[in-house]
Amino acid sequence: MASGAIHIISKLLNPIPQYVLGCLPAIAIIGISPKGKFAEKLTWVLRCFGCPFTGLLYSCNVGKDEVKLCIYWLSSKYFQTEEENGQGEGGLKQLYHRPVGVYAMSVSEDQDNYNDIKDIINRCTARTSVLERLSSLVSIYYIIVGVIAAISRTTGQFSCEDWPYISLLLSWTIPAVFKRAFSGTLVVKDPDVEFAPRKIKKSESEGGNEIVHKPQIIMKPVSGSHKIQKFFTVLLVAFISISYPWITVFLAFYTPPVGYYCRSKFLSIFCSIWSFNSFLAYISHLKKEDHVEGHSWIHIWFSFCGFILAIFLFILALFTNNIEWWGMFNDPNCSTTCGI
């Protein structure tokens, strides 16, 4: 009985492999959000974990410019653009989609309130701290070492107890983690809140009445070459989000230790959800979105998938550290031996 208790305690001290813990910050980094409430931040993390396209689009397509990083989080109601025919109020028209991704536009520096816009953006952004950079480097280390270890397993030098499926599974987060480690700017306040309309009281000489100040950002079209570059960048992000995760399934199924088919089946759940959701997010982006969350039902679905996958990831981590548990499926393909 005493030996059984000691065994349980030892398992609790090391429930999952250390490299798994080192990879987990990558999930938080890919889903970083400037939202103010914890529930909103957590929901966005789950959404990005449930849909790789969302996190990779922000990391790979928006760039490092603090203005672009901020306007990504704004809804379409804050944007205007000049009408081609010059008609309408002030020659401006309201944008009904966010100017990001395929529909990227640049902020006009000629507008009267450009300095006010820059002041708000400066309030929303901050420099990345040393601790944040170090946590990113730790994740990069564990993921890259895990990927190298996985590749080395294909040569025949393998260990059943230490097959780094999870490092491979999360390796699609590398672009976001690299950007976090080496980019100097981070959006820390919700631009949608900072740009919200505010009541301003006029001076006594102007009547002393309150007026509603609603910041508007005038956008201008980008050059044709820039549009093409953005289009192919978004297309590449979609392709990677849809296809890249399946490399893990391929390696798990076709490389030593052969016979670990249950792992392939388990990993295919992750990849199937990621591929479907990334394709859905790409289509939603092409159809133009007016909010960063897109359609509410799609946002809920992505977040729900992220929650389910988080549970599956925890289960996979437990099974990775306790390979004998695979035998409970009573499937001959779930052999826990290392025979090739």
Q: What pLDDT digit, counting tens, does each position of 317-336 carry?
A: 887 777 777 667 666 666 55
Q: What is the DSSP letter of 184?
A: -
Give residue-wise pLDDT tens across range 127-176: 888 888 888 888 888 888 888 877 776 665 555 555 667 888 899 999 99
d(CA 96, CA 193): 19
State the pLDDT at residue 88.
46
- Stretch 72-100: mean pLDDT, rounded? 78
What is the token pair recorded at 216?
């508007």
Confidence category of residue 205, pLDDT binned at 50, 70, 90: low
State the pLDDT at residue 274.
96
State the pLDDT at residue 139.
87
Give residue-wise pLDDT tens across range 215-268: 788 888 888 888 899 999 999 999 999 999 998 888 877 766 655 567 788 889
pTM score, two decimals?
Answer: 0.85
* Predicted confidence (pLDDT) at residue 299 exceeds the cutoff of 90: yes
User: Cβ distance 337 to 259 under 8 Å?
Assistant: yes
* Predicted confidence (pLDDT) at residue 4 exceeds the cutoff of 80: no
State the pLDDT at residue 46.
95
Q: Which helix (H) or strand (E) covers residue 137, if one does?
A: helix 130-153
d(CA 310, CA 128): 27
State the pLDDT at residue 238.
95
C-alpha dihedral, 116 to 117 to 120 to 122, nearest 10°: -100
Q: What is the DSSP letter of 61?
A: T
d(CA 99, CA 106): 8
Half-sphere exposure of 12 (CA within 13 A, CB side): 6
Q: What is the DSSP letter of 68?
A: H
d(CA 332, CA 315): 20
* Predicted confidence (pLDDT) at residue 19 exceeds the cutoff of 60: yes
d(CA 278, CA 1): 50
3-state secondary structure of 128: coil
State the pLDDT at residue 340.
42
Q: Domain ranges in the chain?
A: 15-73+127-188+223-329
- The neighbouring-strand residues paired with 92 are 82
* Predicted confidence (pLDDT) at residue 123 exceeds the cutoff of 80: yes
Q: Which helix (H) or strand (E) covers residue 126, if one does?
A: strand 125-127
Instruction: Identify which of 201-210, 214-223, 291-300, 322-331 has the greatest average pLDDT.
Output: 291-300
Confidence category of residue 10, pLDDT binned at 50, 70, 90: low
Q: How many CB atoms lie within 10 A of CB 167?
A: 25
- Stretch 183-197: mean pLDDT, rounded? 85
* Predicted confidence (pLDDT) at residue 279 exceeds the cutoff of 90: yes
State the pLDDT at residue 243.
95
State the pLDDT at residue 163.
61
- Stretch 14-32: mean pLDDT, rounded? 80
- Stretch 266-293: mean pLDDT, rounded? 93
State the pLDDT at residue 260.
59
Q: Which helix (H) or strand (E) covers residue 312, if one does?
A: helix 296-321
The rounded mean pLDDT for the chain is: 81
